[in-house]
Amino acid sequence: MLTLDSIAIPDLHPDAPVATRKARLTDIEAIHELIGYWAARGQMLVRSKQLLAETIRDFFVLEAAPHEGRPGGLAGVCGLHLLAPDLAEVRGLAVHPAFQGKGLGKTLVLACEAEGRALGLPALFAWTYQQKFFEACGYTRIDKTNLHPKVWSECQRCAFFENCNEIAMLRSLD
Ligand SMILES: CC(C)(COP(=O)(O)OP(=O)(O)OC[C@H]1O[C@@H](n2cnc3c(N)ncnc32)[C@H](O)[C@@H]1OP(=O)(O)O)[C@@H](O)C(=O)NCCC(=O)NCCS
């Protein structure tokens, strides 16, 4: 197990086959752990199991198969949360440390994008510290002022509400 501040995630094999699917309620524990792993490193906002349960239909997961004696498990997660009829937020994006830099983060963001297009959304939004990653996914940095009020929906529960360094990024689907 890889641990930090009592957060433990499975030691997945980096060459394990990975498949994308919609999340299930049985994924909540593993999603909570993976997001907690990166939240403990200051990379993202922690999410409670209650909030994950309420929004589980938002999420895609990447499932790694057992490989060469190591267990299978959650290789990545990302959600698309509807904010308004014309806007959704890509949120809760996390890739397991064994699978960094293999295109899986982009795979997840593209799965959200495909769902957004299927719903008829004109644009997707993200809060992030990972500007370069989102630029590689076709997003553009936008000014935090004059944002749609709904994009602040999670900010009240964030520890950095008064001192937020996250960047706002937008992807037009037109
Ligand atoms: C950010 C994160 C999701 C990226 O996932 P990943 O699987 O490593 O990224 P990918 O391999 O899919 O990269 C896709 C593209 O982004 C680029 N990229 C990714 N991370 C980058 C970085 N830190 N700096 C510059 N470019 C980066 C890649 O070079 C690649 O570019 P290409 O498509 O032109 O080849 C992953 O590093 C992670 O889980 N980080 C910790 C949690 C986190 O920060 N989540 C984001 C919260 S909004």
Look at 159 and 72; give whichever has higher pLDDT: 72
Q: Which atom of ligand 1 is nearest to the CA of 102?
A: 11
Residue 152 resides in a domain: no
Q: What is the DSSP letter of 44?
A: S
Residue 162 CB contacts under 8 Å (≥ 6 apart), including other chains = none
Global pTM? 0.94
CATH label of the domain that carries residue 80: 3.40.630.30
Residue 136 resides in a domain: no
pLDDT of residue 149: 81
Residue 138 resides in a domain: no
Residue 141 resides in a domain: no
pLDDT at 134 over 60: yes
pLDDT at 21 over 60: yes
Distance 94 CA to ligand 1 centre (A): 9
Count Cβ atoms within 10 A of the Cβ of residue 78 and give its class: 0-12 exposed, 13-18 middle, 19 or more buried. buried
Residue 137 resides in a domain: no
Q: Give me the number of domains the chain comprises.
A: 1
Look at 15 and 6; give whichever has higher pLDDT: 15
What percentage of the chain carries pLDDT values higher than 90?
78
Residue 133 resides in a domain: no
> What value does the mean pLDDT of the chain take?
92
Quick check: helix, strand or coil at residue 122?
A: coil
Residues 110-119: tens digit of each pLDDT? 999 999 999 9
Return the closest-CA partner of residue 168 out of 136, 138, 134: 134
Q: Which two tokens stand for residue 60?
A: 């895609």
Q: Which two tokens stand for residue 111?
A: 């799965």
Residues 14-27: b if buried by 16+ CB within 10 A, e if exposed: eebebebeebeeeb
Q: Which residues line ligand 1 (CB under 6 A)?
A: 38, 43-44, 93-95, 100-106, 126, 128, 130, 132-133, 136
Residue 83 resides in a domain: yes
pLDDT of residue 8: 84
Element (H, E) at 109: helix 104-119
Closest Cα to atom 34, ligand 1: which residue? 136
The β-bridge partners of 8 are: 3
Residue 127 resides in a domain: no
Look up the domain containing 83 and give its range: 2-122
Residues 86-111: tens digit of each pLDDT? 999 999 999 999 999 999 999 999 99
**Mean pLDDT calculated for residue range 57-79:** 97
